[in-house]
Structure 1
Amino acid sequence: MMQTTVSGEIIEPYAEALLSLAQSQQLEERFNQDVGMILDLLENSEDLGQFLANPLIKAEAKKAVLRQIAVNEVHGYFLNFLLLLVDRRRIAFLGAICQQYRALLRKLRNIVLAEVITTVELTEAQRQGVIEKVKSMTGANEVELATKLDSSLIGGVIVKVGSQVLDASLRGQLRRLSFSLLNAA
């Protein structure tokens, strides 16, 4: 319940405002790149996330760090957005706001995010096959793949699109076979 409240009252409105600004200035793709850079920074630097989320650190110190990190990397409007988040004491939600921006942009462009879990890296031909399968399943214009490796699958692939799961892994096939054998007995 708490996550829903935070999402509804903080994350979504800020992400929507960022998308609205991007649309009004025709900067959707530029902001998408800026969002990606920020998400990469937050993922690779736990210290940065903790620093920005710490309420004991003064806003000016946070702004100085953001300016130093982002001034030559992101669009000026996006930097102003980051500074606004500091002023409004919402910078702790930066990662979630960035992820929500990407989700809104995907929805606007009819792009589907598909999580693909395999035991080995996919070849380009396999990637294209997965993309075509997901397009036919969803009717999306484009598909973004987020690939993860999982050695416990034994072989095959699992594709997750929203709440749909296509389990073509060996582990999944063995589980289904075991289930059908138990039900047959």
Structure 2
Amino acid sequence: MKGSLVSAEILEPYAEALMSAAKSQNITEQIGEDVRSLLSALDNSEELRQFLGNPFVKEADKKAVLGQIAGEGVHPFTRNFLMLLVDRRRILFLEGIAQQYLTLLRELNQTVLAEVISAVELTEAQQQAVREKVQAMTSARAVELSTKIDPDLIGGVIIKVGSQVVDASLRGQLRRIGIRLSSAA
């Protein structure tokens, strides 16, 4: 309940406001790239996450750090949005707002997100095959892949698209064989 309340009260309105501003200026893709860069920075730095979420750190310090991270490559809309989040003490929700913005961007572009878990890194050809399979399953215009490595799969892949899961991993196949054998006994 608490997670959905935060989503409805904070994440969605801020992400929708950013999307609305981006649409009005026809820069939705550029803001999307900025948001992906910010998410990457947050994923790669636990210190940054803690720094932005710390209520004892001064707003000016947070703005200075965000300005350095954003650099000159970030669109002024994105920079202003980050400063607004600091001013309104919502910067600790940056990750959720950014993910919500990307969800809105995918809806706008009729793109689906497919989470692919594999035992080893997928080649470009394998990634393209997964994209084509997901496109056939969903009738989406485009497919965005989020890949993760899980050596416990032994081989194969698990593809998650929304609530659909396609388990083509060796671990999954072995588990299904085990279930069939135990039910036959």
- The TM-score bracket by the shorter chain reads over 0.9
Long gaps (5+) in structure 1: none
Report SS of the residue matched to 2:56: coil
Q: Deviations over 1:58-116 (max 9, x none)?
A: 21221122222224121111100000001111000001110110011001111011111
Deviation at 1:57, TM superposition (A): 1.4
The alignment yields a C-alpha RMSD, in angstroms, of 1.1
The letter of the residue matching 1:51 is: F
Residue pairs, 1:132-143, within 5 angstroms:
132-143=132-143
Mapping 1:110-121, distance limit 5 Å? 110-121=110-121
Aligned residue for 2:100, secondary structure, equals helix
CA distance in 1: counterparts of 2:124 and 2:70, whole angstroms:
33
**Counterpart position of 1:86:** 86
Label 1:59 to 1:142 Cα distance change in 2 as closer, same or farther (>3 A).
same
State the Cα distance separating 1:124 from its structure 2 match.
Answer: 2.3
What corresponds to 1:126 in structure 2?
Answer: 126
Partner of 1:171: 171
Moved more, 124-133 or 135-144: 124-133
* Residue identity opposite 1:168 in structure 2: A
In structure 2, do the counterparts of structure 1 residues 71 and 154 end up closer, same or farther at CA, with 3 Å as the change threshold?
Answer: closer
1:176 maps to a residue whose letter is R
Tell me the SS of whatever aligns to 1:168.
Answer: strand
**Structure 2: gaps (5+ residues):** none
Aligned equivalent of 1:11: 11
Deviation of 1:123 (Å): 2.2
Aligned residue pairs, count: 185
Residue 68 in structure 1 maps to residue 65 in structure 2: no
- Structure 2 match to 1:35: 35
Out of 167-176 and 66-75, give the one that drifted further: 66-75
For residues 108 and 157 of structure 2, the distance between their equivalents in structure 1, rounded to whole angstroms, comes to 28
Q: Distance in 1 between matches of 2:47 and 2:182?
A: 50
TM-score, scaled relative to structure 1:
0.96
Aligned partners of 1:120, 1:57: CA distance in 2, in Å?
41
AA in 1 matched with 2:104? L
Q: Percent identity of the aligned residues?
A: 62
For 1:53, the equivalent position in structure 2 comes to: 53
Matched-pair contact (CA < 8 Å) for 1:71–1:79: no
Could you tell me how far apart the structure 2 residues matched to 1:6 and 1:44 are? 24
Consecutive aligned runs of 4 or more in structure 1 exceeding 6 Å deviation: none
